[in-house]
Amino acid sequence: MANKRKLPEINASQMADISFLLLIFWLCSTTMSTDQGLSRRLPPPLPPNMEKPDVEVNERNIFIVLINSQNQLLVQGELMDVRQLREEAKAFILNVENDIHKPELFEVTADVLDKNGNVERTLKTITTKNHVISLQNDRGTMYEKYIEVQNELVAAYNEVRDEYSRKEFGGLAFNELTQEQQEAVQTLFPQKISEAEPKNYGGKK
């Protein structure tokens, strides 16, 4: 009785098969990709019986970007490569030299609130608060080009915000700031990308 009897080993060779099966099932039915993209906000719909509101915008305040059906870019009346667009848009948003062909400069302020909702700090800067970037495209424009242009415009804003926050918050990039600070910087430099009500230039749908 004292001698140990050896327990028979459990045959685990099937285990590998089962787990391989599970693994392969998982590989087939799932995707690796995380969802990301360019977030935008659409304007609310116009009431059906209303005429388009005539918003008075001073001509120097509009930055017109047109994309035609050949995917060519016309920026402020000039043919342009998409890679120049970011710099051009930034120069327009900031208007550092107070150019009369670029939007008027205003002093704007924004409050940074702390956790309790009290004003912690007031940011003040001079920017072009009335500017509008108007983006128009044709029905024949390729989606890829449109996204590329949108991306450059968003990038221009992000760079402007980034540069400002590095200057004001001791070298911190915009996305390193706290929520409240980000909001304040956003109010100073709001994204103003307006997309025209669609028109059909090119005839064929």
Q: Which of 111, 120, 148, 183 binds other proteins (CB under 8 A)?
A: 148
Tell which one of 1, 2, 16, 79 touches other proteins (CB under 8 A): 16
Window 154-183: contact mask with other proteins (x via CB under 8 A): xx--x-------------------------
Q: Cβ of residue 34: shortest distance to other proteins, in angstroms?
A: 7
With CB under 8 A as the rule, give the number of residues binding other proteins: 47
Query: Could you say which DSSP state residue 130 is in?
Result: T
- Tokens, residue 33: 């990709």
Give the integer Cα–Cα distance in Å for 136 and 134.
Answer: 7
Largest CA distance in the chain: 105
> Alpha carbon of 157 to those of 11, 20, 161, 162: distances in Å?
64, 49, 6, 8
Report in angstroms how near the CB of residue 134 gets to other proteins at its nearest: 15
Q: Which is nearer to other proteins, 17 or 97 (CB)?
A: 17
Contacting residue, 3, 6, 8, 31, with other proteins by CB under 8 A: 31
Q: Give yes or no for residue 151 binding other proteins (CB under 8 A).
A: yes
Contact 173, 107 (CB under 8 A): no
Give me the amino acid identity at 73.
L
Applying CB under 8 A, among 2, 7, 38, 119 the residue interacting with other proteins is 38
Q: How far is CA 6 from CA 10, 12, 157, in A?
A: 12, 17, 74
φ, ψ dihedrals at 114, nearest 5°:
-95, -170
Task: List contacts with other proteins (CB under 8 A).
Answer: 12-13, 15-16, 18-20, 22-23, 26-27, 29-45, 83, 137-144, 146-148, 150-151, 154-155, 158, 198, 205
